[in-house]
Structure formats: C-alpha cells, structure tokens
C-alpha cells in the first residue's frame, strides 16, 4: 500500500524540482520523521534519487532529491495534417528516440491500424522494455473534451465529435489525448514558471493558459484559443470563417517565402531585405496588439511559442517597445518571453502532460 505522503512527494517533484528532506517536510506540512520515512521508501523503490547537495556556507550540506527520470518512459505522439510523429522520452520529458512518418490523419479504421503498427515497430526498434512505458500522450490539433473523451472539433481535419476510444483501442498504454497548444504549454513548465499564457505561432495560431500548474480548459474546452481573437475588424478572412482573426495575421503563412521555408524569411530579415523588413514590421505590430489585449485580460506572462516563437529571442526588445504603445497600465512591458522548448515542442509537452495525468503510475512496481 503506497502512502499518500509518497504521492505528495512525487507531485512536488514531477516537473524536475529538487528538494531537501527539510524542504519536503516543510512544504508538505508533515513531521520530519514522517518525511524521512516516505523519502527512504521512495529511494528504496527507485522512484526518487539523490541529486547532489545544497550549496552551504558552513556546516553539513543538505542532500537534495529528485524524481528518478530513468525509472520509466513515456510514449509521445503528435498528429499533424501530414505526419504522425512519435518519441520515447524519460520521465523529465527528454526525448530519447524520435520518428517522423508520413501518415496524415484520416478517421478510418485503416489509419488507426497502421498507427498501431507504426507504434509497435517504433517501440520495438528502441529496444526499451514496453512494460516500462508508464503511459502515452497524444497531441492533436483539435478541441478535446476530456470528460466525454471526444474530439469536439478540428478545423484542420474538418471533423466533429470523434470518440477517443478509437485511439485508446489501438494504443496499448494508458493514454492522454490533448489539444496541441495545451501540449506545447506543458513543455514550458518549470520550477520557476507556473502561470503563463502560451501563444503558439505556427501554421495556425493557438494558445493555452497555465495557472498555478493547472491548464485552464474553459466551459467548452477552448480557453486560450487566441488565434480567433479579432485584431482587425472586417479584416482578412480567417479559415474559421470570421474576419480579422489573429490567425490571419500571425500564422507562419504570413511570413513564408516562395520556397515555403520559414528560415528563408528570417535569413532575408537578417540581411535587411526591404520587403521582409516591411512584412516583419506589420507582423510585430499585430503581435504587439494581440499581446497587449491578452495581457490586459489575463494579467500574466506571455510565452511566445511555435515555429515563430522559437525564433523570437532577438526580437523581444523590439516587441516589448511596440507592446508598450498599447499598454497604459504596466510600468514596464516585462511579461513577454520567447519559449524555452524550441524543438519537438508538442512531443515534449505531450510527454509532460502524460506524467501530470498519470503521476500515480510512477509508483508502479
Ligand atoms: Zn478565426
């Protein structure tokens, strides 16, 4: 029988945090002897591990502990318009093996059967014991109802009310299916950052809100759908049918050059190509407008993610200045950050979301 204190310690550490025995006793409000007993049991079971010592100016240095990231694995999956990507990660979400296959989603039995084949082949190739896979996480570009287990809608695939049982049936692990932007949002979580809006600037624009380590889902599972906030009334037609949505101004399509490569645009920007500079000028202004509205509404940090967010580091100062023009409430615009996770964002986030969902399975024998 696992104690609830063991579970609380796991929950404390599941985003990579490191704590000493004293921290654990204090943070969980349990006596030192109880904390020591639970920590020893978790160490013995290999669930947590020693992670060095706290720096100290004198006396004995306190040891710190963290989750044993090698105790199990997560299978992460990402469905996109044309591909099925998969990865095996450790319990910190670090990618150990990755595969990209051309297997564009269609809601047909043959697609699910082939997915099952691809997963089995991939796991077998990694030579990792499937018994050690704690769960699977799947990133899907659609609105997911976590209570009814339904994909309510996906504009990308033009589908409505798809039962998630179709995935559960062919993926042989406990499965967490999440909206792609929600997965990306998980990928940014760390010890310092627990509340933020993740603005995903990709082929489509999306978003997700993390508040004190919990995703905000909204009444209809679409909280944070920032791509369809109108920033130019009667503006460009959005794929959703409305006019002037942020998506029509801030998705990668706006920046793509003839070769369809985003890097080409940023290379041209670096070499001060006048056309690219003009496009980027409008882009940053539109982004500043959206960010100022989102910050006014939510009063929280905004993390810029997706393919464009991952390239934003050197433009943040300029963006903050532009945002300041719309923001009369903040003394400094100090709430915009480029994303930290720049590669395999959705796979990493799907894995971390899965650990969040199935944390009790970390105590499995
Ligand atoms: Zn729209």
pLDDT tens, position by position, 275-291: 999 999 999 999 999 99
Distance between first and last Cα of the chain: 11
Q: Averaged over 68-80, what is the pLDDT? A: 95
pLDDT at 150: 96
Interval between CA 222 and ligand 1 midpoint (Å): 13
Answer yes or no: do 48 and 63 share one domain: yes
Q: What is the dihedral of CA 306, 308, 310, 314, to 10 degrees?
A: -150
Interval between CA 225 and ligand 1 midpoint (Å): 9
Encoded tokens for 321: 């200045």
Q: Averaged over 316-333, what is the pLDDT? A: 94
Question: What is the extent of the structural domain holding 294?
Answer: 192-338
- Average predicted confidence (pLDDT) for the chain: 93
Structural domains of the chain, count: 3
Interval between CA 247 and ligand 1 midpoint (Å): 6
Output the domain CATH number for residue 28: 1.10.10.10
Domain termination residue (choose one: 18, 50, 67): 67
Q: What is the dihedral of CA 87, 93, 96, 102, to 10 degrees?
A: 20
Interval between CA 201 and ligand 1 midpoint (Å): 14
Q: Return the DSSP state at 46.
A: T
Answer yes or no: do 231 and 330 share one domain: yes
Answer yes or no: do 132 and 54 share one domain: no
Q: Averaged over 34-57, what is the pLDDT? A: 89
Phi first, then psi, for residue 135 (nearest 5°) are -175, 175
Answer yes or no: do 50 and 87 share one domain: no
Q: Averaged over 21-33, what is the pLDDT? A: 94
pLDDT at 57: 61
Contact 340, 192 (CB under 8 A): no
pLDDT at 365 over 70: no
Interval between CA 127 and ligand 1 midpoint (Å): 44
Answer yes or no: do 256 and 238 share one domain: yes
How does residue 111 score in pLDDT terms, banded at 50, 70 and 90? Answer: very high
Phi first, then psi, for residue 96 (nearest 5°) are -105, -35
How does residue 191 score in pLDDT terms, banded at 50, 70 and 90? Answer: low
% of the chain at pLDDT higher than 90? 83
Interval between CA 240 and ligand 1 midpoint (Å): 4
Answer yes or no: do 160 and 28 share one domain: no
CA 195 – CA 210 distance, rounded (Å): 5
Q: What b-and-e string marks burial along 194-204, b requiring 16 or more CB atoms within 10 Å of the CB?
A: ebbbbbbbbbb
Q: Write down the pTM of the prediction.
A: 0.89
Answer yes or no: do 221 and 318 share one domain: yes
Interval between CA 108 and ligand 1 midpoint (Å): 28
Interval between CA 243 and ligand 1 midpoint (Å): 7
CA 274 – CA 319 distance, rounded (Å): 19
Q: Please report where in the chains the tokens 């903040």 appear, as a residue.
A: 330
pLDDT, tens only, 214-261: 999 999 999 999 999 999 999 999 998 999 999 999 999 999 888 889
Q: Averaged over 52-58, what is the pLDDT? A: 72
pLDDT at 361 over 70: yes
Q: Which residues pair with 135 in a beta bridge?
A: 74
Interval between CA 155 and ligand 1 midpoint (Å): 10
- For 207, the enclosing helix (H) or strand (E) is strand 205-211
Answer yes or no: do 121 and 197 share one domain: no
CA 89 – CA 73 distance, rounded (Å): 6
For residue 78, what are the CA distances in angstroms to 87, 142, 156, 243?
A: 9, 12, 14, 30
Answer yes or no: do 224 and 298 share one domain: yes
Answer yes or no: do 166 and 197 share one domain: no
Q: Please report where in the chains the tokens 């960010």 appear, as a residue.
A: 291
pLDDT at 58: 64
Report which of residues 121 and 260 the model is more confident about.
121
Interval between CA 205 and ligand 1 midpoint (Å): 9
Answer yes or no: do 231 and 349 share one domain: no
Output the domain CATH number for residue 215: 3.30.420.40
Q: Identify the weakest region by mean pLDDT among 45-49, 110-114, 254-258.
A: 254-258
CA 246 – CA 226 distance, rounded (Å): 7
% of the chain at pLDDT higher than 70? 98
Interval between CA 275 and ligand 1 midpoint (Å): 26
Q: Identify the weakest region by mean pLDDT among 85-89, 136-140, 190-194.
A: 190-194
Interval between CA 248 and ligand 1 midpoint (Å): 7
Q: Which residues pair with 237 in a beta bridge?
A: 243
pLDDT at 1: 42
Answer yes or no: do 205 and 228 share one domain: yes
Interval between CA 160 and ligand 1 midpoint (Å): 17
């Amino acid at each position: 029988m696992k104690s609830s204190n063991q579970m609380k310690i796991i929950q404390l550490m599941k985003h990579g945090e490191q704590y000493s025995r004293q921290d654990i006793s204090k943070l969980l409000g349990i006596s030192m002897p109880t904390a020591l007993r639970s920590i020893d049991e978790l160490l013995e079971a290999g669930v947590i591990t020693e992670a060095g010592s706290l720096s100290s100016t004198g006396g004995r240095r306190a040891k710190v502990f963290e989750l044993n990231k090698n105790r199990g694995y997560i299978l992460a999956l990402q469905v996109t318009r044309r591909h099925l990507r998969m990865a095996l990660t450790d319990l910190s979400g670090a990618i150990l093996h990755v595969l990209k296959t051309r297997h564009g989603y269609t809601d047909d039995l043959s697609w699910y059967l082939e997915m099952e084949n691809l997963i089995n082949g991939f796991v077998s190739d990694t030579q990792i014991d499937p018994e050690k896979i704690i769960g699977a996480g799947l990133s899907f570009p659609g609105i997911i109802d976590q209570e009814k287990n339904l994909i309510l809608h996906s504009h990308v695939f033009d589908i409505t009310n798809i039962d998630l049982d179709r995935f559960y049936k062919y993926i042989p692990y406990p499965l967490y299916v999440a909206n792609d932007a929600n997965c990306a949002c998980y990928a940014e979580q760390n010890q310092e950052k627990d509340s933020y809006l993740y603005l995903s600037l990709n082929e489509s624009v999306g978003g997700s809100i993390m508040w004190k380590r919990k995703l905000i889902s909204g009444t209809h599972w679409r909280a944070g759908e920032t791509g369809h906030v109108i920033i130019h009334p009667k503006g460009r037609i959005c794929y959703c049918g409305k006019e002037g949505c942020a998506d029509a101004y801030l998705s990668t399509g706006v920046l793509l050059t003839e070769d369809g490569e985003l890097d080409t645009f940023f290379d041209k920007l670096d070499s001060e190509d006048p056309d690219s500079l003009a496009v980027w000028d409008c882009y940053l202004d539109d982004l500043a407008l959206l960010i100022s509205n989102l910050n006014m509404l939510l009063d929280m940090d905004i993390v810029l993610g997706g393919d464009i967010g991952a390239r934003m580091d050197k433009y943040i100062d300029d963006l903050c200045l532009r945002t300041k023009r719309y923001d009369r409430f903040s003394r400094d615009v100090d709430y915009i950050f480029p994303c930290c996770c720049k590669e395999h964002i959705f796979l990493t986030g799907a894995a971390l979301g899965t650990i969040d969902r199935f944390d009790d399975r970390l105590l499995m024998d």
